[in-house]
Amino acid sequence: MIEMLVNMLSMCIPFSVALLLASLGEMFNQRAGVFNLGCEGMMAMGAFIGMLIPFSAGGGGAVSQWYNVLGFIAAGVLGAFLGLFFGVVTVTFRAPQGIAGIGLQMFGVGTAGTLFRHFVGGTQSIPGIPDISIPFLSSIPFLGDVFFSHNGAVYLAYLFVPLAWYILFKTPWGLKVRAVGTNPRAADSMGINVSRTRYEALMLGGALAGLAGAYLSIAQAKMFSDTLISGRGFIAVALVYFGHWHPLQIMGGALLFTFAQTFQTQIQSMGISFPYELAVMLPYILVIVVLSFTSRNQTTAPTALGKPFNREIRT
């Protein structure tokens, strides 16, 4: 029983990284008042470019770890660039954010698919990144396997959770982000540049979404395919609601949803036969159920979420 639990937990933690990073990014966007539904597209682009760099360096064989690092960096930069683009559309031109996000999602997934077919072709795998067992800590029974025997990106991603909390709640920039998402007019009258802050938040969010995508292709699946993201971008958006726009609660949500996603493998390993499709449905059903319970009473939601700010129009 304990062994099973250890297996389950040590599987959930590395698999939760993509969701975690993407939803922390989305949290910054939404805290600044921008609802970014294009997260899925950004992740697809990040996953593609992240996989392309180690693949073209090594042709699918072993490569220096620096190429993987370069893949992550490229994915982050590309994501930030897409965030900038989304900022032009939703902040400067004040387009409706929901539908523009759908456009960005189609654009990202479509472009990643097109470029993938040209530059890579079919299913090609890359070596990925190795697990790093932290000395001493990983030899602790139970805890060692669960927490200290993952690949390097996992530790960095989880270190980012307290960092995100610190940025959002303890730095002047975090205060600005929360101000423009809560009451942009008041922030504007205090001399905060609303558009600029929203742009910055979108770029940070985009970079994190790109990294999340690259994590999926480089570290988790070790390949790219059209269905690699399969709704994780949308689940990340829902997770932000579930986590009440707070990094620690979002982390809890990411673990919960990863558990639902890996549920299929879990029960298979227990030897219970259960229709594969029903198990795959589980996280999506969970999103709807969770949203039904959390959407009604949103006292913690940024009040300006989804509302473009226009200095010239009184509200």
Partner 1 sequence: MTRSFRIAFKVAVMLIAAVSAVLIASIILWMIGADVGATFYTICVVPLTNSLHLTEVLIRAIPLCVIALGITVAYRSGIINIGAEGQMSIGILAFTGVALAFPDVPRPLLLPTAFIAAVIGGGLWGFIPGILKARLNVSELLSTVMLNYIAAQFYSLCLRTIYLDPAEQGLGAAGTPQSMRLSENVWLDRISGRLHYGIVIALVLAVLIYFLVWKTTIGFRMRASGSEARAARYGGINVAFYVTLAMVISGAFSGLAGGIEIAGVHRRAIEGVTNNYGFSGVVVALFGGLHPFGILPASFFFGLLIYGATLAPSRVGVPANIVQVMQGVIIIVIVTAQMVLSNAYLQDRLWRKLQGMRKKEA
Q: What is the contact surface with partner 1 in residues (CB under 8 A)?
A: 37, 41, 89, 93-96, 98-111, 113-115, 117-119, 226, 230-231, 234, 237-238, 241, 275, 277-278, 280-281, 284-285, 287-288, 291-292, 295-296, 298
- Judged by CB, which is closer to partner 1: 270, or 291? 291
- Judged by CB, which is closer to partner 1: 135, or 275? 275
Report yes or no: 157 and 21 within 8 Å, Cβ to Cβ: yes
- Judged by CB, which is closer to partner 1: 50, or 108? 108
- Judged by CB, which is closer to partner 1: 179, or 209? 209
Minimum Å gap between C-beta 239 and partner 1 is 10
Q: Could you give the C-alpha distances from 270 to 50, 273, 309, in angstroms and in order? A: 34, 9, 53
Beta bridge partners of 150: 132
- Judged by CB, which is closer to partner 1: 70, or 89? 89
3-state secondary structure of 215: helix
- Judged by CB, which is closer to partner 1: 81, or 155? 81
State the residue for tokens 């600044």: 32
Minimum Å gap between C-beta 22 and partner 1 is 14
Strands 131-133 and 149-151 turn out to be antiparallel
- Burial environment of residue 9 by CB neighbours within 10 A (0 to 12, 13 to 18, 19 or more): middle
E strand or H helix at 193: none
Beta bridge partners of 131: 151
Rounded distance between C-alpha atoms, residue 284 and residue 38, angstroms: 18
Minimum Å gap between C-beta 230 and partner 1 is 7
Note the Cα 299 to chain centre separation in Å: 24
Rounded distance between C-alpha atoms, residue 142 and residue 10, angstroms: 10
Minimum Å gap between C-beta 96 and partner 1 is 6
Q: Could you give the C-alpha distances from 201 to 60, 63, 152, in angstroms and in order? A: 35, 34, 26
Rounded distance between C-alpha atoms, residue 225 and residue 112, angstroms: 9
Minimum Å gap between C-beta 77 and partner 1 is 17
Minimum Å gap between C-beta 105 and partner 1 is 7
Minimum Å gap between C-beta 163 and partner 1 is 27
- Judged by CB, which is closer to partner 1: 221, or 280? 280
- Judged by CB, which is closer to partner 1: 180, or 287? 287
Angle at 44 between CA 100 and CA 123, to 5 degrees: 145
Minimum Å gap between C-beta 138 and partner 1 is 36
